[in-house]
Amino acid sequence: MIFFILIGCSRYDYTIHKPKVIYSKPNKKALSLLLKRQLGKKYIWAEEGPDSFDCSGLTYYCYGSMNMTIPRVAREQFMVGKKISCKELQYGDLIFFDTSKKFRGKITHVGIYIGDGKFEHASNEKDGVKISSLKSKYYSSRILGCRRYFAQSYEKGPDGRFLPPKLTEYKPQKVDPESFGKEGRYYIQIGSYSQKPQDNYLKTLEALGYKYKILKRNDFYKLLIGPFNSKEDAKKILPEIKKGFNPSAFLVDGLSLESGVI
């Protein structure tokens, strides 16, 4: 009897409710209006609006209100859309994070990019729906990937609503939770400095989505991007990184180890 009374008195409905269509087709202007209306609303786990949200509930609601059917939870939202890098982010793209206390490489959070290095998200019970910055070291160091749902044309699902683009170039990988983020020993060195690199330079790296490490060696500082789990992983991204930095700053092959130069 007590069990049924508790259910009857519950303040929240945890069943999934498909958002009402407000706009006939996904577009950035519609998304902008939707996001502005949600700012300041409460964070409640398993809610997808219209009065309160969890992180993936906000993305589910906003795209659903634009007549698009997307998965309800963040890890499944990551499995659709166009794969993009942090440097390619445009208004409306989704950014996925691991915000767990111990970084394990598993998606636990999602936000919507709104330009100028910022994103809107249902943050937590204290802050609710708010705008945060990717220039924050906390968020930039926890990004696991980005996806784009806007497209030139869309397929329609069984319910008649639009579908996000199918994910390309995605291959699920097994991750050892105990070693993720720890076993990486390979870094790309992008400079040696007589003084510690300036904060505005480091913030630029963070905004571009690069993780970095500063090592002091005698009278100079080494600035490293990484870590990467293997030489191969580091070499894949090396050409892209070299485009934005002075080539003379790199080592012969652009790679270094904490324990010494390769």
φ, ψ of residue 149 in degrees (nearest 5): -100, -25
Query: Is-catalytic flag, 121?
Result: yes
Task: Name the β-bridge partners of 180.
Answer: none
Question: Which of 15-46 are b and which e, b meaning 16 or more Cβ less than 10 Å from the residue's Cβ?
Answer: eeeebeeeeeebeeebbeebbeebeebebbeb
Q: Which residue among 62, 86, 109, 146 is the active-site one?
A: 109
Q: Which amino acid is at 50?
A: P
Phi-psi region at 183: left, alpha or beta (left = phi > 0; alpha = psi -120 to 50): alpha
Q: Which residue among 55, 62, 86, 146 is the active-site one?
A: 55
Task: Name the β-bridge partners of 192.
Answer: 222
Contact, 118 vs 112, CB < 8 A?
no
Q: Could you say which DSSP state residue 68 is in?
A: B
Using the structure block, give the residue that is written with the tokens 């929240």. Answer: 12
Computed from CA positions of residues 62, 18, 58, 166, in that sequence, does the dihedral angle turn out positive or negative? negative
Query: Is-catalytic flag, 86?
Result: no
Contact, 190 vs 219, CB < 8 A?
no
Dihedral of CA atoms 24, 25, 26, 27 in degrees, nearest 10, equals -90
Contact, 220 vs 246, CB < 8 A?
no
Q: Which residue among 17, 62, 86, 121 is the active-site one?
A: 121
Active site residues: 55, 109, 121
